[in-house]
Amino acid sequence: MQTASPITDWNALALPALFDALARADAEDAVARALREDLGVEPGARGDITSAASIPAALVGRATIVSRSDGVLAGVRVAEMVARIGGFSVTVHAEDGARLARGTRVATLEGPFAALLAHERTVLNFLTLLSGNATMAARFVDAVRGTRASVCDTRKTIPGLRTLQKYATRCGGATLHRIGLFDAVLLKDNHLGAFAAGTLGARVRDASRRARASGPVAFVECEVDELAQLDELLGLERGVLDIILLDNMDPATLAEAVRRRDARAPHVLLEASGGVRMDTVRAIAESGVDRISVGAITHSAPALDLGLDLEPGDGVVSGEQRAPEPSTHPADSRA
């Protein structure tokens, strides 16, 4: 995983720069793994034996990727990586972060027909997954629009695809939380469970001091699940704690937490977490919290329905060497 500077403000980067700095190296690794899964592993890899047996090598064709439902696009740069490896071209019609209506053309692929067939599933797997994350993020962002709250992602991602999924959530308008364990401090209940009552503030102060002395950190955050803990942390001096995570609190309790924070430590951000669903996020946001972390945007987002329509172009196909019917759905018979 590419880590760059641990204090890089990923949320300040435009999407193209964010992809290059955060996700490109991981995307290249992921694409290579995905193609090995489909085409085999050297030595002796046979590639797409179905297309090799049925498609003339000289036949070229075209494929059009179309959105079959409304959503937000993410993963165009990954599709370009697959195309470069596969030996065909991509013309992009919609960029990452674009709002797609049903029927929107996303991209056109052109090149050897067998290569298009061999790589279509890999292209769609990345695009549908990442666009699904972006679409779910956008739904939550839209749901809290007009409040002060930003929607944040979490580390609840597919192993090996962390930076790609986090990039996708930014495409949907979400705010990136910490990238991993290496760039920020988040003291959660499992870190603090052994601490005696009344020692929370001192323990957090000590952990913050040690972490900041070890090198740059993006922020120091601590989880609480009751207002008494919040009060103890609000008494810490400025510079110790950046964010307090309010775990599984109802909107009324969250609003009281905001009132206490505003009165005692307005420089500290409040983040709500736990029980965040589409039907609860608006009430959580209206409590006045600054951030809402939502694991669902990466661990439970359905794939966006994108189709890839293939059509052979120049060349004659006859007899037993007939091209397959065009694919019209991402879950077609060539699963």
Cα 49 to its chain centre, rounded Å, is 33
Identify the active-site residue in 26, 96, 221, 223: 223
Burial class (CB in 10 A: 0-12, 13-18, 19+), 196: exposed
Q: What is the residue-wise DSSP string for 167-231?
A: HHHHHTTPBP--SSTTS-EEE-HHHHTTSPTT-HHHHHHHHHHHHHHHS--S-EEEEESSHHHHH
Give the other-Cβ count within 10 Å of 260's Cβ.
15
| HSE value, Cβ hemisphere, 13 Å, CA-based, for 330 | 18
Classified as helix, coil or strand, 252 is: helix
Active-site position among 188, 210, 264, 322: 188
Distances (CA, A) of 242 to 21, 29, 66, 238, 301: 25, 34, 43, 8, 29
Q: Could you confirm whether 223 is annotated as catalytic?
A: yes
256's CB contacts (< 8 A; 6+ apart) are 227
Which is the catalytic residue, given 156, 205, 212, 282?
156
Q: Is 156 a catalytic residue?
A: yes
Q: What are phi and psi of 67, to 5 degrees?
A: -80, 130
Phi, psi angles (nearest 5°) of residue 105 = -75, 130
Quote the Cα angle for 295-246-248, to 5°.
Answer: 65
Say which of 24, 121, 170, 291 is annotated catalytic. 121
80 and 93 Cβ atoms separated by less than 8 Å: no
Active-site residue, 166 included:
no
User: 247, 271, 290, 305: which one is catalytic?
Assistant: 247
Catalytic residues: 121, 156, 188, 223, 247
